[in-house]
Amino acid sequence: MSSRLNPYLGFRDNAREAMDFYQGVFGGEITRTTYGEFNASEDPAEQDKIMHSELTTTSGFSLMASDTPNGMELPTSSSVTVSISGDDEAELTGYWDKLLDGGTAVMPLSKAPWGDSFGMLTDKFGTSWMVNIAGASD
């Protein structure tokens, strides 16, 4: 098997809702397991929390996420921005529009100095995204 690198998002307790939202954005199939399914937490309030979730799309995207148990701190020492790029303007603009629902445009999707269309946003779950749509080649 070859290696791959993919985003793994951490949430306090809304990974299920976030992944359902991302499935609405990107399509694809979600697999998920809870802490309760693996007896990974003795806290009854955490039984339905997501221990691991993965969204796999027909475009080849893989996005993973989990909830953070109450006894663990959410990491704050670094940040990650998920970047999506390509040349299918309709597809990428559609992702942008759906991700922006309930979120905030940090830099509106518009023509960039390098000739592509580029934008940055923070979605309603606090995840940062960059979208880059390749410009027409000369």
DSSP states of the chain as a string? -------EEEESS-HHHHHHHHHHHH--EEEEEETGGGT----GGGTTSEEEEEEE-TTS-EEEEEEPPTTSPPP-S---EEEEEES-HHHHHHHHHHHHTTSEEEEEEEE-TTSSEEEEEE-TTS-EEEEEEPPPP-
pLDDT for the residue 65: 96
Within the chain, which residue ranges are assigned CATH 3.10.180.10? 8-67
Mind listing the pLDDT tens digit of every residue in the chain (138 residues)?
A: 788 888 999 999 999 999 999 999 999 999 999 999 988 877 888 899 999 999 999 999 999 999 998 888 876 777 889 999 999 999 999 999 999 999 999 999 999 999 999 999 999 999 999 999 998 654
> pTM score, two decimals?
0.91
Instruction: Could you please state the CATH topology (level 3) that the domain comprising 8-67 is classified under.
Output: 2,3-Dihydroxybiphenyl 1,2-Dioxygenase; domain 1 (3.10.180)
